[in-house]
Amino acid sequence: MAYYLVTARPLLDRLNDLEAKLNQQAFIDLEPFGRALTASLEDARRLPDGTAVWEEEDYCRPPLAQERDAVLDRYFEELSVEPVRHGAGWASIERLPRLFPALRPPVR
């Protein structure tokens, strides 16, 4: 199992739609990544320049290929990944403001 620290520039005109879909759990049943992607995006953080950042569990080569095709490329651009140890990505960004503060944080 591989983990990545993901950074991506949100498409601002689509963030409300993404938040609504997360609130509806619209991606949760996407196999095999829906639960992990949903939890990661629900707790995504925002860097001072507006870039979104989160830790993501993934098995694809290239990383996040299925997630990008199904969800991420609709809502983000300039997506990049950096390998991290499980939990290390979250630890490095935990003090940043949440991208979607109105959403209930997932249980880890």
Biggest alpha carbon distance in the chain?
Answer: 33
For residue 8, what are the contacts with CB-CB under 8 A and spacing of at least 6? 51, 52, 53, 72, 76, 77, 78, 79, 80
Indicate the fold that domain 2-93 takes in CATH.
Answer: Alpha-Beta Plaits (3.30.70)
Both structure tokens of 107: 């249980």
CA distance 77 to 72: 8
pLDDT digits (tens, 9 = 90+) for 68-96: 999 999 999 999 999 999 999 999 999 99
Considering Cα of 83, then 89, then 92, then 95, what sign does the dihedral take? positive
> Distance between CA 26 and CA 75 in Å, rounded?
14
- Which tens digit of pLDDT belongs to each residue from 24-57? 999 999 999 999 999 999 999 999 999 999 999 9
Partners of residue 83 on adjacent β-strands: 4
Q: Distance between terminal CA atoms of the chain?
A: 17
